[in-house]
Amino acid sequence: MTTVLNHAAGNATRRSVSAEDCFRLEHCCLEALRYEILAWPKPGLVSPVDSGSHRDMHMGTFFASIAALQGSFTELARAGTGGPSFSVLQAIGLQAERKMLCATGGVNTHRGAIFNLGLLVAAAALRRSDRTLAGLTCGAVVARTWGREILAGRRHRPASHGDHVFRKYAAGGARSEAAAGFPTVYSIGLPTLRRLLQAGHDRETALIGTLMAMMEHLPDTNVLWRGGESGLDLVRGSAADFNRMGGVSTAGWQGRLQVLHRAFVARNLSPGGSADLAAATWAAHRIETLHAQAG
Ligand SMILES: CC(C)(COP(=O)(O)OP(=O)(O)OC[C@H]1O[C@@H](n2cnc3c(N)ncnc32)[C@H](O)[C@@H]1O)[C@@H](O)C(=O)NCCC(=O)NCCS
Ligand SMILES: Nc1ncnc2c1ncn2[C@@H]1O[C@H](COP(=O)(O)OP(=O)(O)OP(=O)(O)O)[C@@H](O)[C@H]1O
């Protein structure tokens, strides 16, 4: 009798997640990556206008990577539905990284983005499948379900730039952000993006405003790797100045960002972590809106 009741209670909290649901989640991710690369001006970053501080990639490399990633986010969403151990998602994420490297001739265009977006879609699918998680953001679902394993995972991978930076500056990078439930996305990115959209800014402008908010606050390991602490101080300080002066809501903002772009390129600085989280913010905006509409 107890077994039957438990089984019934379990069914009441479970809901099936369709192939269409997973496909819709992937669409939010691929759209976010397209909007991020197309946005201009973005200090130090690759855009349709130039390659910023990067010598091994251009906008076409990013589009080749995005095309190769088609299917990977659907797969991550499908896997997330069952609330698997992090190692299951990691295997799919590493496979996606291999597809990216194959499409770009070995260039890292989206490693951070695959990690962030992959975890967010897996969490979105898990939340959809389990009604008891309905009140949580995708970020909170990531932290609660996979946070510990994400932090433990650092020990099992060959040393990366991120690991060097972690040892030298104690900056936890993408893993810390994810394990903490994406605080930069949910506490800084989303409020900024939604405020700018509500104020009537177009999508591109709102995304750049969001990027600049990220840059002011994020301990970006890409910047630390390339420019050390003084590079990070410069990036965060100049983003803070830009935001304090009214950011993208003030006339002439594009010109000010082009000046910053030249300054970053001269110092080989690229805020790739902020770019990743601006894309993650766009995807989270779309995914959380779909969730709210579904009720
Ligand atoms: C965890 C990863 C991203 C580690 O990479 P790495 O050691 O280089 O870490 P690091 O945090 O320095 O940077 C990774 C990238 O994240 C972005 N980034 C940099 N700083 C930050 C930050 N503070 N917050 C978020 N993203 C950041 C940058 O684009 C950077 O290139 C990754 O390579 C990995 O382990 N991949 C395996 C696949 C996986 O686990 N997937 C999970 C499911 S999708
Ligand atoms: N528009 C963009 N321009 C440049 N980098 C971006 C952009 N959007 C996101 N990124 C992120 O920046 C990272 C690439 O930066 P970078 O080339 O400095 O990393 P790396 O491969 O670790 O270092 P290096 O090229 O110095 O060996 C990617 O993980 C990517 O997710």
Residue with the two structure tokens 């251009």: 58
Does residue 98 fall inside a structural domain? yes
Q: Spell out where 4-161 has E strands.
A: none
What's the token pair of residue 209? 């405003």
**How does pLDDT run along the chain (295 residues), one tens digit per residue?**
333 333 444 567 888 899 999 999 999 999 999 999 999 999 999 999 999 999 999 999 999 999 999 999 999 999 999 999 999 999 999 999 999 999 999 999 999 999 999 999 999 999 999 999 999 999 999 999 999 999 997 765 667 888 888 888 888 899 999 999 999 999 999 999 999 999 999 999 999 999 999 999 999 999 999 999 999 999 999 999 999 999 999 999 999 999 999 999 999 999 999 999 999 999 999 999 999 998 7
Residue with the two structure tokens 């405020």: 195
Dist. CA 272 → ligand 2 center (Å): 5
Fill in the amino acid letter for 243: N
Closest CA to ligand 1's atom 33: 111
Any atom of ligand 1 within 6 Å of the Cβ of 275: no
Any atom of ligand 1 within 6 Å of the Cβ of 58: no
In the DSSP assignment, the letter for residue 55 is S
* d(C-alpha 13, C-alpha 83), whole Å: 14
Backbone angles phi, psi at 199, to 5 degrees: -75, -5
Host domain of residue 228: 17-294
What CATH number did the domain enclosing 190 receive?
1.10.4200.10
Closest CA to ligand 2's atom 31: 110
* d(C-alpha 158, C-alpha 179), whole Å: 20
Does residue 11 fall inside a structural domain? no
Fill in the amino acid letter for 9: A
* d(C-alpha 226, C-alpha 279), whole Å: 21
Does residue 261 fall inside a structural domain? yes
Closest by alpha carbon to 272, among 205, 227, 230? 227
Query: In DSSP terms, which residues pair with 14 in a beta bridge?
Result: 130
Does residue 9 fall inside a structural domain? no
Dist. CA 173 → ligand 1 center (Å): 7
Does residue 1 fall inside a structural domain? no
* d(C-alpha 67, C-alpha 94), whole Å: 16
Of the residues 92, 97, 115, 119, which should be mutated to test ligand 1's pocket, given the most ligand atoms within 8 Å of the CB?
A: 115
Closest CA to ligand 1's atom 1: 175
Of the residues 111, 163, 215, 223, which should be mutated to test ligand 2's pocket, given the most ligand atoms within 8 Å of the CB?
A: 111
pLDDT at residue 153, as a whole number: 77
pLDDT at residue 165, as a whole number: 87
ipTM: 0.94
Reported pTM = 0.94
* d(C-alpha 193, C-alpha 212), whole Å: 11
Any atom of ligand 1 within 6 Å of the Cβ of 189: no
Span between the terminal Cα atoms of the chain, in Å: 33
pLDDT at residue 158, as a whole number: 63
Does residue 4 fall inside a structural domain? no
3-state secondary structure 142-194: HHHHHHHHHHHHHHHCCCCHHHHHHHHHCCCHHHHHHHCCCHHHHHHHHHHHH
Does residue 112 fall inside a structural domain? yes
* d(C-alpha 115, C-alpha 94), whole Å: 9
Q: Is 77 helix (H, G, I), strand (E, B) or coil?
A: helix
* d(C-alpha 53, C-alpha 45), whole Å: 6
Any atom of ligand 1 within 6 Å of the Cβ of 172: no
Does residue 3 fall inside a structural domain? no
pLDDT at residue 166, as a whole number: 85
Helix-, strand-, coil-residue percentages of the chain, each rounded to 5: 75, 0, 25
Domain count, the chain: 1
Whether the CB-CB separation of 21 and 125 falls below 8 Å is answered with yes
In the DSSP assignment, the letter for residue 20 is H
Ligand 2 pocket, Cβ-based, cut-off 6 angstroms: 36-37, 45-46, 54, 108-113, 161, 222, 270, 272, 275-276
